[in-house]
Amino acid sequence: MSLELAATFAALGDPTRLALVERLRGAEALAVGSLAEGLPMSRQAVSKHLAVLAEGGVVSASREGRQVLYRLEPARVAEAEAFLQAVGERWDAALGRLKAHVER
């Protein structure tokens, strides 16, 4: 299956990276240093996590002076969401059929 989709899900499959995404949800764009603040690991570790998120298409980076700003990238996130919705739809459809059968 789609390697890109797998990379996106894998990027989200870590508590630290989920926390980073949630932080980015509350701001337009944040620098590495401010994202690392408060997390129980080094700045370089956070930087690596951000690289994984970027590889998965969840965030994008842009240099701004001497700092690097990260922001959410909704396109790939929407693809992942669509996949999950499709998974659920099959089940909803089955439920619909069952309901129709019961009500007949």
| Residues binding its own copies (CB under 8 A) | 1-3, 5-15, 18-19, 21-22, 25-26, 28, 72, 74, 77-78, 80-81, 84-88, 90-92, 94
CB–CB of 33/50 below 8 Å?
Answer: no
Task: Indicate which of DNA, its own copies, none lies near residue 81 (CB less than 5 to 8 Å, by partner kind).
Answer: its own copies
> Cα(96)–Cα(60) distance, rounded to whole angstroms?
40
Q: Which of 43, 42, 51, 44 is nearest to 14 (CA)?
A: 51
> Among residues 29 and 32, whose Cβ is nearest to its own copies?
29
Q: Tokens 């240099």 correspond to what residue?
A: 63
> Among residues 86 and 104, whose Cβ is nearest to its own copies?
86
Number of residues counted as binding DNA (CB under 7 A): 23
CA distances from 36 to 56, 84, 89 (A): 19, 30, 38
> Cα(70)–Cα(81) distance, rounded to whole angstroms?
21
Instruction: Write the binding mask 39 to 78 for DNA: x where contact by CB under 7 A, - elsewhere.
Output: -xxxxxx-xxxx-x--------x---xxxx----------
- Nearest distance from C-beta of residue 16 to its own copies, angstroms: 8
